[in-house]
Amino acid sequence: MIERAGVVGDVHCEDRRLASALAFLARAGVDCLLAVGDYADGRGDLDRCVELLAGAGALGVLGNHDRWLLDGTMRDLAHASTAPALREDTRRWLRAQPKTRRLESAAGPLLLCHGLGEEDMAQLRPDHYGSALDANASLQAILQAGDVRVVVGGHTHQRMARRIGEVWFINAGTLHRDYGAGFLLLDLAGRVAQFYDLLDEEEIVAAERCELA
């Protein structure tokens, strides 16, 4: 049963920012670390990112960039990671990550994913309303199934804590240096999402706080 989780969004090889976030979350006394994928493709050290996550016992899922890396596709992207350059334990850890995880939390059943459910390219953004929600097949499938109360995902690099129907959709944002790096402390027992800014590789400042009422 997860009560107090640390959540890191799309990592994109940002090993130094990841190390700072994990150290902060450990001091904050989280009982679980959740990682939403897209560990690959960035300017830092993917081997070290995976070493840090594995060492922290993170529960992770695979993102679209990680899938592309393992498939050897989309490797013409800027700052693309390449599988042959990685340590074997890094490749093994990535291959072991599922598309989704279903977990029990103090706020009810929790779905951990990258996009929305099994679709790692599906998006839910803070400014999606009306027809954008109605036409979102992956979102509607989650809502109609009615078997989760919290969805923790990523992909968009945009922070979000919003309730749609009976489900809270949470996005910690990203550690990517070009997209306003940060992370999340998700108090599922207290029903609070506290976001943090990583202003550089070490300076951490409390940002938005959302009551999950």
Domain boundaries, the chain: 4-211
What is the model's pLDDT at position 213? 85
For residues 144 and 166, is the Cβ–Cβ distance under 8 A? no
**Over 90: is that where the pLDDT of 71 sits?**
yes
Q: Which helix (H) or strand (E) holds 131?
A: helix 131-134
What is the model's pLDDT at position 200? 84
Overall CATH class of domain 4-211: alpha beta
What is the model's pLDDT at position 12? 98
Q: Is 46 exposed, middle or buried (0-12, 13-18, 19+ CB in 10 A)?
A: buried
What is the model's pLDDT at position 17? 97
For residues 98 and 61, is the Cβ–Cβ distance under 8 A? yes
Q: Are strands 204-211 and 192-198 parallel, antiparallel or unpaired?
A: antiparallel
What is the model's pLDDT at position 39? 98
Rounded average pLDDT over 110-114:
98
